[in-house]
Amino acid sequence: QSALTQPRSVSGSPGQSVTISCTGTTSDVGGYDYVSWYQHHPGKAPKLMIYGVNKRPSGVPDRFSGSKSGNTASLTISGLQAEDEADYYCCSYAGGYKGVFGGGTKVTVL
Amino acid sequence: EVQLLESGGDLVQPGGSLRLSCAASGFSVSSNYMYWVRQAPGKGLEWVSVMYSGGGSTYYSDSVKGRFTISRDNSKNTLYLQMNSLRVDDTAVYYCARDLDSSTWVPLSYFDLWGRGTLVTVSS
């Protein structure tokens, strides 16, 4: 499976909104509503932020939202805060009982 | 406390073998879809393998299929990854992870619990 495509980096000022895209194919993102997003601070365990395209686990702020259109999923962070600075990864079910990650996006809070 | 703790990472020569362990506490590995995910230095996360709850079917990424084997010991509540024929590009931090919902028809790769990872370095 080829990795899903994410922008290498996005940035925004505190309080602004940023959106991270995650582009796949009809064999993964476009074929299933099984997309998840992870926040990863270096040296720590990744954290589940979104699953099932747009569902938030308990404890994740509602500033984080997910969506999907065709072969592209998106994660939007509204009201950007300093602690949101991290790497973000999308992941999709890819058929054959397997998953595939995106290459990761570094979010910088200016 | 619900947690995962990986161990077993080491420096190994190309062609060598290594077994990673992931000890679970606060829940049963046999009742959940369990995974291994890795991150090579400076790279992104890579899906490696999954083991089903119950019957224990297993699946692997193309990059490790035939070389790696995922297994578990229910009595020790521990997940394993046996890695053979290691290559330089297997160098990575290896994480074990649990699925959010193990009642789904297939493992959906919703990783709600992660360990801190263990470093495997393959180098001569």
CB contact under 8 A, B110 and A51: yes
CA nearest to B49, candidates A75, B40, B38:
B38
CB contact under 8 A, B44 and A3: yes
CB contact under 8 A, A98 and B115: no
Name the DSSP class of A84. Answer: G
> B108 contacts in A (CB within 8 Å)?
34, 36, 51-52, 93, 99
CB-count exposure of residue B124 (10 Å: 0-12, 13-18, 19+)? exposed
CB contact under 8 A, B45 and A57: no
Question: Is the pLDDT assigned to residue B122 strictly greater than 80?
Answer: yes
Which of B110, B112, B113, B118 to probe by mutation at the A interface, max A CB count within 10 Å?
B110
**Can you read off the two tokens belonging to residue B65?**
């299929």
DSSP 3-state of A33: coil
pLDDT for the residue numbered A52: 94
Instruction: Annotate B69-120 with three-state secondary structure.
Output: EEEEECCCCEEEEEECCCCHHHCEEEEEEEECCCCCCCCCCCEEEECCCEEE
Helix (H) or strand (E) run with residue B56 in it: none
Backbone angles phi, psi at A50, to 5 degrees: -145, 140
Across the interface, of A48, A103, A104, the residue whose CB is closest to B111 is A48
Instruction: Annotate chain A with three-state secondary structure.
Output: CCCEECCCEEEECCCCCEEEEEECCCCCHHHCCCEEEEEECCCCCCEEEEECCCECCCCCCCCEEEEEECCEEEEEECCCCHHHCEEEEEEEECCCCCEEEECCEEEEEC
CB contact under 8 A, B106 and A97: yes
pLDDT for the residue numbered B54: 78
- For B27-79, how does the pLDDT look when each residue is reduced to its tens digit (9 = 90+)? 999 999 999 999 999 999 999 999 998 777 999 999 999 999 999 999 999 99
The average confidence (pLDDT) of chain B is 95
Name the DSSP class of A81. Answer: -
Q: Distance between CA B8 and CA B70 in Å, rounded?
A: 14
B115 and chain A in contact, CB less than 8 A: yes
CB contact under 8 A, A36 and B111: yes
For A5, which residue in chain B has the nearest alpha carbon? B44
- For B14-29, how does the pLDDT look when each residue is reduced to its tens digit (9 = 90+)? 999 999 999 999 999 9
Question: Is the pLDDT assigned to residue A1 strictly greater than 80?
Answer: no
Q: Distance between CA A21 and CA A56 in Å, rounded?
A: 18
What is the rounded average pLDDT of the residues B70-95? Answer: 97
- For A69-110, how does the pLDDT look when each residue is reduced to its tens digit (9 = 90+)? 999 999 999 999 999 999 999 999 998 889 999 999 999 999
What is the rounded average pLDDT of the residues B83-102? Answer: 96
Helix (H) or strand (E) run with residue A73 in it: strand A72-77
Closest CA–CA distance from residue B123 to any residue of chain A (Å): 22
Question: B97: pLDDT confidence band, cut at 50, 70 and 90?
Answer: very high
Beta bridge partners of A93: A99
Q: Distance between CA B3 and CA B9 in Å, rounded?
A: 18
Buried b (16+ CB within 10 A) or exposed e, A17-48: ebebbbbbbebbbbebebbbbbbbeeeebbbb
- For A7-61, how does the pLDDT look when each residue is reduced to its tens digit (9 = 90+)? 999 999 999 999 999 999 999 999 999 999 999 998 899 999 999 999 999 999 9
pLDDT for the residue numbered B55: 75
